[in-house]
Amino acid sequence: MKRICFVLIGIFASSCAMVQSIVKSTFPYTAVMVIPASARVGESHTALSTANSFDQDFTKDGNNAGRVGEVRVISAKLQSKDPSDYNIGNITSIKVYMAKADGSEEVMVASRNDITPNVGDGIVLDIDNSNFLDALVREPSVRLRMVYVLRKAANVDVSLKVSLGLGAYPHN
């Protein structure tokens, strides 16, 4: 209920830079990446998905970032979605890139090269916050690309949820 109230306040005060930066910093960008059962062990593979943020649903043009700046990744997580108990330790390394919907202006935002074999169904990724994402979050949608290497193949297609937390500051 508190989030709904917060979103409504954000909608009505969307011209305020402070509110826009708080809203953009509150709702993560999420995407579901699919690892097909046919993916081979030891080879580099790529998964693509459109990333969405909850706050995009409440704006006219798909974003509310017109008055935010200095946007950077502040957290990155990977969680098993289907099957929910998939061991992410079946993957040896992951790199996550964010880009405009057409793939342009791509930057690496997170990675993990030392995934242990029995890590479980969720991990925190190492963030790369050396790039500002201001232009990307002003887009109606962004694309995430995950590059991964498997340690162990799965019998079924696997869906993983990538969540990227962003930090933003008011920009007039």
Query: Based on the structure, what is the number of domains in the chain?
Result: 1
CATH number of the domain at 71, please: 2.60.120
What confidence score (pLDDT) does residue 134 get? 82
Q: Which pLDDT score is estimated for 168?
A: 77
Query: For residue 53, what pLDDT is reported?
Result: 79
Q: Which residues of the chain have pLDDT under 70?
A: 1-27, 54-69, 169-172
What is the residue range of 29's domain?
Answer: 2-170
Look up the pTM and report it: 0.80
Residues in contact with 154: Cβ distance below 8 Å, sequence separation at least 6, in sequence order: 35, 37, 39, 86, 90
